[in-house]
A and B are shown apart, each in its own frame.
Chain A
Amino acid sequence: MEHVAEHHPDHESPHTSQHVPEQRITLRIDGTDHELTVDTRTTLLDALRERAGNTSPKKGCDHGQCGSCTVLLDGRRHLTCLALAVAYDGAEIVTAAGLAGPADEGDLHPVQQAFITHDGFQCGYCTPGQVCSAVGMLEEAGRGAPSHVTADLEADVDLTDEEIRERMSGNLCRCGAYAGILGAIRESAGR
């Protein structure tokens, strides 16, 4: 938005594009292929939420600062709000909805069940992102990826509380459910 205070001369008219470039992409979302027509400005998050109708990933900030939009993208945890959909044609996305079985009867992913057991949430808005992040993080730790607090970069990762907290710090929880989240991930990590 251009704001022009009265005592300043008008700025030049901003450039206006005459048409919105659109592109067709295919995303495999929770096991189903979706052919989507997206605006080239569409983020992966909005492609999921507004185009594909999958609102499992949440929009907490749209700025890569909260983690609520985390999904598993080609197997790795990934923020979808800072990603442009057109750059991910052909990607495989698993949301928290896809980690579980179908809505009514299906089993939850063990991490999801652990979140419930440990009450690792209150409002639930950060939760799908926390769950995806936890699943991705456990895989990262399992293959020995170090974190900022890992002392020995060569050794297997020992998922201490400090490691879990550090590795989960990209996912903010304003409800402050961190103690429950920690408990859920400890259990999922077999501790």
Chain B
Amino acid sequence: MTANSVRAVAMGTAMERVDGREKVTGRATYAMENDAELDRPPLHGWMVTSRTAKGRVLRVDASDALDHPGVVTVLDHTTAPRLASTEDRELAVLQDDRIGFRGQIVALVLAETPESAREGARLVRVHEQAEPFSATLEGAETYRPDSSSVGSETDTEQGEVDAALAAAPVRIDHTYTTPHEHNNPLEPHAATALWRDGTLTMWDSTQGVHRVAATLAPMLGIEPERLRVRAPYVGGGFGSKGPPHGPEVAVALAAMWAEGRPVKLAVTRQQMFPLTGYRTQTVSDLRIGAEPDGRIIALEHAVTVQTSAIKEFVEHAAVPARMMYAGEHRRTSHRVASLDVPVPSWMRAPGEMPGMHALEVAMDELAVAVGVDPVELRVRNEPEVDPGSGNPFSNRRLVDCLYRGAELFGWADRPVAPRATLDGDWWVGTGVASATYPANFFPGNAARVTALERGRYAVAIGAVDIGTGARTALLQIAADALGVGVAEVDLAIGDTDLPFATVAGGSSGTGSWGTAITQAAQQFRADHGEAPDPGVQTTSTAQSYPDTEHLAMHSYGAVFTEARVHRWTGEVRVPRMLGVYSVGRVINPTTARSQFLGGLVMGLSAALFEESVRDPRFGHFVTQDLATYHVASHADIGDLRVEWLDDVDERATPMGSRGIGEIGIVGTSAAVVNAAYHATGVRVRNLPATSDAFL
């Protein structure tokens, strides 16, 4: 059966986070904090990483390390347990002598204490043979990948783009760049692992317990049931904890080596920069040809990114240009340079974030070029149907978001010309950008409903709450699907012993898991009625939600910001940000607001601060801690306001909701840059917009 839509009682009602108490006291247990469940003191791991960007490990000399008190062993590629598969070069940890990037794991020290492990790692001498390498995108040879990393088409072309551009009365033709960025969840990647009786148990800091098990079990040569992954609490991820990375393999190998004894391994903040993924630098060549009134005739978005030679990841930054605005002639493309660098991966709104940054700054440039208000320009370019697929949109309310935002923000008061307002020593301006994100739905999720005593129910699914509020929202969904109060439901998540769940990523979690819960609850009622005997149970796997195949399903938003740029120092401050979103039904207004706000903050952070600087001479990120890789701090934040449209999208999910985790970051950096342009007349085309750009 497929799920029917559900009457919203708990859904849509603000509810405090059910795990708030654990979090504000620090009693919530993250991946390194489960010692109470261990019956033996754990060994502590510390990784030794490569100093060359490409080459071979000739010899790992562990003699001094092994002499150090407390050091138990040093695993390297000659001594670590063998993996059954080494196809994935990022995950083929300690299996051979090849080095694919600087910062790769080349040895792992295990010791009785963290101090001894760390000192042991310092004492390991790795003899490496360096080979010539390449770590710079500029000037690098590129290739055409088979597809992007979300499986979308590499290139698209409609109409006569070059001719239309050449003939267009107005043309915008610029290159926009976004730098390497690192997710930097506040909890570093970490895991505790125990190999006992042929079963590996991992407490992992991950966005997807089943995904970790499904990826690692075959590599470790064990049945998936023999790998239990638990993630009771996860300190953020923003994509980096979506797929497993090398350190998870390292700790699993160490646990197998240490059979019977648990092993704890925390990636240091510094080691996260090469080892746990990042958003690749992007280069967007954007050309827009328009009528004098701003209507787009032709649009080209050509994206160049880099990936690691050992594993391909293609950031799909040209994808949003396929559906965002009208225009008859359109070309999008992705080209990739393969470099000897750390493996890029998912970071909040991969593709949409950098792609929409470029597109939305270009739209602002077009607004200036044709003398049309930036809000009005976007309204004029509303497509009737999805220009890329020709499919109708299911619930496209971008214009409503723009108009509502303009009203709330006081947009109409804005002077037309840039560099028009000087307040003391500060140039003041306002900017806008659109946001969008696809309504992703991942199939295959399953949920279990069990009747308990006294009209209570247990609902179980292997979903993970990485801070999104899923633990609370899923409870609300379950309660409504069962037709009971939230207090009548016990929800269990974060464990592969529970029914299969897809990853908390792509803004798909609550929708995909919630659909499974809804369907299981409805099946449960069909099987067992309204007064079930305690103990009866239904487990069901969600079908794909119907009616979605021939619809273009996306969420939308409009972001408005005020920027102030200091006339002498170029310092940029953002005293006001507003986001208005259309995301279907908001399940829990309390946690949803925090999701949107968090996206705005991360977008502001990307606009002004975030940049991972790679040293081309060595191939590593030199900004590798939170003092050199700047993220927005409290003092960087002004007044933030978020609103959403009253929406219910039952074509997206039976709850009427779409995902909300990523859209807050989309367009936000463009809104800041556009406001800074309006303040100063200086157009910044390369992120981050640091003060030097305005001097």
Contacts and interface: CB of A to CB of B under 8 A. Distances in A.
Contacts of B432: none
Contacts of B236: 122-123, 125, 174-175
Interface stretch (B28-36, B87-95, B320-328, B525-533): B28-36
Contact of B115 (A20, A112, A113): A20
Contacts of A62: 268-269
B27 interface: yes
Contacts of B33: 49, 55
B23 A177 contact: no
Contact of A175 (B67, B69, B119, B598): B598
B177 interface: no
Nearest to B637: A178
Residue in A14, A124, A172, A179 with the greatest tally of chain B CB atoms within 10 Å: A124
Interface stretch (A72-80, A91-99, A138-146): A91-99
B538 to A, nearest CB: 32
B690 interface: no
Contacts of B600: 176
Interface string A99-121: 11001000010001101110101
B97 interface: no
Nearest to A54: B26
A121 B631 contact: no
B186 A131 contact: no
B626 A66 contact: yes
A96 B25 contact: yes
Interface string B594-619: 11011111100100000000000000
B64 A3 contact: no
Contacts of B480: none
Contacts of B633: 169, 172
A46 B35 CA distance: 14
Given A5-B128, A18-B69, A127 B625 contact: no
Given A165-B634, A165-B635, A173-B186, A4 B127 contact: yes
Given A1-B124, A63-B627, A116-B24, A171 B30 contact: no
B125 A2 contact: yes
Nearest to B640: A179
B115 A124 contact: no
B20 A3 contact: no
Nearest to B233: A124
Interface residues of A, number: 72
B632 interface: yes
Interface in B459-475: 466-469
A169 B249 CA distance: 36
B346 to A, nearest CB: 15
Interface in B37-83: 48-52, 58, 64, 67-70
A55 B37 CA distance: 14
A2 B63 CA distance: 12
A174 B185 contact: yes
A6 interface: yes
B187 A60 contact: yes
A105 to B, nearest CB: 11
A186 to B, nearest CB: 13
A42 B113 CA distance: 9
Contacts of B32: 49, 55, 59
B593 interface: yes
Interface in A54-71: 55-63, 65-66, 68
B215 interface: no
Contacts of B19: 124
A177 B186 contact: no
A166 interface: yes
Nearest to A39: B115
A111 to B, nearest CB: 8
Contact of A166 (B25, B69, B635): B635
B234 interface: yes
Contacts of A24: none
A50 interface: yes
Nearest to B49: A1
Nearest to B22: A124
Interface string A18-60: 1110000000000000000001011000100110010111111
Given A124-B233, A178-B634, A63 B625 contact: yes
A122 B467 contact: yes
Given A1-B121, A116-B20, A176 B598 contact: yes
Contacts of B166: none
B601 A176 contact: yes
B431 interface: no
Contacts of B593: 119
Main secondary structure of the interface of A (DSSP, over half): loop
Contact of B113 (A50, A113, A119): A50
A66 B268 CA distance: 13
Contacts of B125: 1-4, 11
B626 A3 contact: no
A124 B7 CA distance: 31
Contact of B594 (A6, A99, A177): A177
A1 B29 CA distance: 31
A177 B659 CA distance: 19
B625 A61 contact: yes
B294 interface: no
B276 interface: no
Nearest to B642: A179
Contacts of B50: 3
Contact of A127 (B23, B591, B637): B23
Interface in B117-136: 119, 121-130
Contacts of B602: 174, 176
B235 interface: yes
B26 A56 contact: yes
A68 B186 contact: yes
A124 B598 CA distance: 13
Contacts of B21: 108, 116
Interface in B621-655: 625-627, 631-635, 637, 640
Residue in B107, B188, B600 with the greatest tally of chain A CB atoms within 10 Å: B188
Given A20-B116, A65-B627, A178-B634, A6 B127 contact: yes
B64 A13 contact: yes
A174 to B, nearest CB: 4
B447 interface: no
Contacts of A97: 25-27
Contacts of B69: 17-20
B282 interface: no
B126 A4 contact: yes
Given A42-B113, A180-B597, 16 more contacts: A1-B123, A5-B51, A6-B58, A6-B128, A6-B130, A18-B69, A50-B114, A59-B188, A62-B268, A66-B186, A119-B591, A121-B24, A123-B23, A124-B235, A174-B238, A179-B597
Leading 8 A-B pairs by shortest Cβ distance:
A176-B601, A56-B26, A123-B467, A125-B235, A124-B23, A128-B26, A122-B467, A176-B598
25 contacts: A1-B48, A14-B122, A16-B68, A16-B123, A17-B69, A39-B113, A60-B235, A61-B625, A61-B626, A63-B269, A108-B24, A113-B24, A117-B16, A119-B17, A121-B17, A121-B24, A122-B467, A122-B594, A124-B28, A125-B30, A128-B23, A172-B186, A172-B633, A176-B600, A182-B637
Interface of A: 1-6, 11, 13-14, 16-20, 39, 41-42, 46, 49-50, 53, 55-63, 65-66, 68, 95-97, 99-100, 103, 108, 112-113, 115-117, 119, 121-128, 131, 164-166, 168-169, 171-182
